[in-house]
Each structure stands twice: as structure tokens, then as C-alpha cells.
Amino acid sequence: MEKFAPVKRSEDGQPVRYLIVDDSVFARKNLARMIETFGGQVVGEAGDGVSAITEYERLTPDIVLMDITMPQMEGIEAAEKIVREHPSARIVMVSSVGYQENIVAALQRGARHFVQKPVKPEVLYEVIKYVMRDDGTAVRGAGAGA
Amino acid sequence: MRMDVIQPFINSADAVLAQGLGTPVSIENLSMEEEAYRRKGIAAEVYLAGEIEGRIIFDVDLGAALGLASRLAGVAVSETDEELVREAVCELANQIIGNAVTTLNDQGFHFHVRPPTLHTSEKGSKSSEDTEALVMCFNTSTGNVFMNVALRYHRQAPETAAAAG
């Protein structure tokens, strides 16, 4: 997989910390592999919206990658609950269902961005850089991507 | 069966398979099926409800499923990793359906999709007059992927649509 210039936190130069939320183990593995190529650190995973909220409270990641269609609690509802408690939370919805109503609903409830599956690494990378723009720095010269 | 409803599923399958496997795919054959569905490999089933109702089965040859799982996982996946291979087929179905649903919703069709489930029985339900089954075979570099589509367009009465609208 292509290597990208690592995106780091501007405050301390540490890798960006990610929480991946998806009911598919396979999708989580795939996203985790991409995050590695961005120089990020996966600090936790969750398979549904309820666990996502618990894991967010426990880990306070820099970015949450959140699926929409999941058991127990869907991603948009979980995003809303997280943002209500943590207004600075950066949540990126990652779903194969990307019709306009869904995207608008997610953004209205606090998600910062939307990426459609199948995820292209270069698209996710640009979204991560954009979402981390207040706090992230892409270190140049470390990879061929970007 | 309305082709404008089916076409997004064909386009989506073509695009997702090509991206997932990293090689072009071709539609080998296309036929209407009247008999009950017989599973050929590892299969996932997705149900739709609303203005478009019915089910779609994705049936993947073991070779194609292993190729897909290996490609997506980034490591060689063998037959012994059954769970991972099944998971890959379900994720493939999820992505194909999700992309098609996106197109159809943006075209004004409203319906819900349930998450994919493994189709483990040897036979599926028989298609009927109002849910004909269209079977497509996508030929990939590692094997065949069959998509069995049995959908019905459930038109809303004008007054119902207006009330909902």
C-alpha cells in the first residue's frame, strides 16, 4: 500500500490517535492498515454505536472513523451523542451508503466529514488532513503519497 | 423488472469488484432465473424494503473470495481463515449495495436496506411473477462472482406519495 507523509498532532508532534467504529471486522482491519500508512495510531476499535461512545470516553481519540449502519445504535446517533458531550470531537463518517440525505443528517449532527466505501486511501488521507487542519501537521518528505 | 432500478447494482458491482480486486472484471453472462437459487460458493444476502423490495444474493467462488479477502486484508488469506473470507464477502455485498442505494436514493427512490447476512442454505427462495430473478456472472481474475437480483418496484399511490412527501 502507498505510503503517505505522516499526519501528526501539531501540539506535541505525536501520531494522530484513531478510534475505528465498524461492525465489520474486515472493514476495521482495512481502515487500520490505511491509518498505519498515514503514520497514525489506532488506539481502539468498536463494533457498534454504544461501544463507540464508551470507547470515546475512555480513550479520547483525535479522530473517530464511524460507520453508519451498525447494530444496537447507528453511527449518526452515536456521533450526535459524542459531539453533544465533546463538541470538539472530530468524527468522520465512513459508509457505503452515501446519499445526500444521509450525509446532510450526519453533518447536521456533528460529523466533520463523510467518506464513501470502498475507501480510497488517498481520499481518506486528504479528509484526515482537512479535519486535523486546526491541530495536525503533515510531515513532508517522509513518503510519496499526499 | 425495471432496468433503471437494476442498472445501479450492476454498475456498483462492476466498480467495487474492480477496485476490490485491483483488476478489471467483465460480465460473463446474464439470465433470468425461474428456479430456486442454488448456492455456488460463499454467499451473502441483502434484503431491501420500501419503494424497492426484494433481495440480492452475492455468491462468490471460493477462489474469488480468497483473492478478494487477500487483496482487502493485505495478506494472503487461506481457506482455513473461513471467518475472514465470509467477512470479506459480506463487506463486498455491503459496499456494492451501499453504492447502488446511494445512486437510487439520489434518483428519488426511497427504501431501506438491512445489513448483509450469510446465505448458508444450499437453496434460496424461488422467484415469482412480481419478483423475477436476474442472475449476472462477473468474471474476475480469481473466479466468478454471481449476483442474483430479485426486486420489485413497489409504486406508491399518488395520494400516499404526496402525503409522505
Tens-digit pLDDT profile for residues B6-45: 899 999 999 999 888 888 889 888 888 776 677 888 999 9
- Residue B159 dihedral angles phi and psi, to the nearest 5°: -70, -35
Please name the residue of chain A whose CA is at the shortest distance from the CA of residue B73.
Answer: A30
User: Is A121 inside any structural domain?
Assistant: yes
**What is the model's pLDDT at position B76?**
87
B91/A71 CB distance under 8 A: no
B165 has a chain A CB within 8 A of its CB: no
Q: Residue B143 forms beta bridges with which residues? A: B140
Q: Which residues of B touch A97 (CB under 8 A)?
A: 98, 101-102, 113
pLDDT digits (tens, 9 = 90+) for B56-100: 999 999 888 998 888 877 788 888 888 888 888 998 999 999 999
* C-alpha distance from B49 to closest chain A C-alpha (Å): 15
Q: What is the ipTM metric for this complex?
A: 0.73
Averaged pLDDT, B48-62: 90
Residue A54's alpha-carbon distances to A57, A86, B95, in angstroms, are: 5, 13, 27
Q: What is the mean pLDDT of each run of 10 residues along chain A (146 residues)?
A: 85 94 90 95 96 97 94 91 97 91 92 93 95 66 40
User: Is A72 inside any structural domain?
Assistant: yes
Q: Which residues of A touch B115 (CB under 8 A)?
A: 23, 69, 71
User: 442454505: which residue's cell?
Assistant: B121
Correct CATH for B3-164 of 3.40.1550.10, 3.50.40.10, 3.40.50.300, 1.10.275.10: 3.40.1550.10
pLDDT digits (tens, 9 = 90+) for B91-149: 899 999 999 999 998 888 888 888 788 877 666 655 554 456 889 999 988 889 999 99
User: Is A15 inside any structural domain?
Assistant: yes
- Return d(Cα A115, Cα A95) in angstroms, integer: 7
Q: Burial level of B129, CB count in 10 A (0-12/13-18/19+)?
A: exposed
A69/B113 CB distance under 8 A: yes
Domain that holds residue A109: 7-136
Predicted confidence band of residue B164 (pLDDT cuts 50, 70, 90): very low
User: Is A1 inside any structural domain?
Assistant: no
Q: Has this prediction a pTM greater than 0.90?
A: no
- What is the CATH classification number for the domain harbouring A42? 3.40.50.2300
Name which of B69, B94, B102 is nearest A99 (Cβ-Cβ).
Answer: B102
Report the run of H or E that residue B160 belongs to, with start and end.
Answer: helix B158-164
User: Is A53 inside any structural domain?
Assistant: yes
- Residue B151 dihedral angles phi and psi, to the nearest 5°: -125, 155
* C-alpha distance from A55 to closest chain B C-alpha (Å): 23
Domain count, chain A: 1
**What is the model's pLDDT at position A1?**
65
B16 has a chain A CB within 8 A of its CB: yes
